[in-house]
Amino acid sequence: MIAIGSDHGGWELKQEIMAHLKERGLAYWDFGTYTSDSCDYPVYGKAVAQAVASGEYEFGILICGTGIGISITANKVPGIRAALCGDCFSAEATRAHNDANILALGGRVTGAGLALKIVDTFLDTPFSGDERHVRRISMIEG
Ligand code: RB5
């Protein structure tokens, strides 16, 4: 199950991503925002990050205008490794090396075509499980 959220700056791209997830048969829950009206990205960054940290959701996808504010917010929640990605190489590497559990995107930065490929790459790449990566991840918190 995927937790998804955005502010107004990511609202439009979120609609495209949700349609894509539905097409792929992947279940998701939209934590808002539900309109394109101006709102505060920390509200949605926190909600999705807490949902993923609770273990109820395997992955999260967060979108704001740049992807920066919402990923900074998500990374304040213990257990969250949110990665802002603008290319498929980073999306693959952050799953394989960092075991990232939230993908952040910039709705005003990354076009929908590329964003959907980034989403697929992120969701379809497993964590490598290599000892050095496990060790480094454990060093992030604690
Ligand atoms: C909203 O205007 C914008 O600041 C927000 O979407 C995001 O880019 C913040 O990091």
**Which residues of the chain carry a pLDDT beneath 50?**
none
What distance in Å separates the CA atoms of residue 133 and residue 142, rounded to the nearest whole number? 15
Report pLDDT for 141. Answer: 85
88 part of the active site: no
Radius of gyration (C-alpha) of the chain in whole angstroms:
14
Structural domains of the chain, ranges and CATH numbers in brackets: 2-141 (3.40.1400.10)
Chain-wide mean pLDDT for the chain? 98
In angstroms, rounded to a whole number, what is the distance separating the alpha carbons of residues 39 and 8? 6
Give pLDDT, residue 142.
Answer: 66
pLDDT given for residue 20 in this prediction: 98
Beta bridge partners of 83: 103
Name the residue with the closest Cα to ligand 1, atom 4: 65
Tell me the one-letter amino acid at 3.
A
Residue with CA nearest ligand 1 atom 8? 65
**Distance in Å, CA 69 to ligand 1 centroid:** 6
pLDDT tens figures, 16-49: 999 999 999 999 999 999 999 999 999 999 999 9
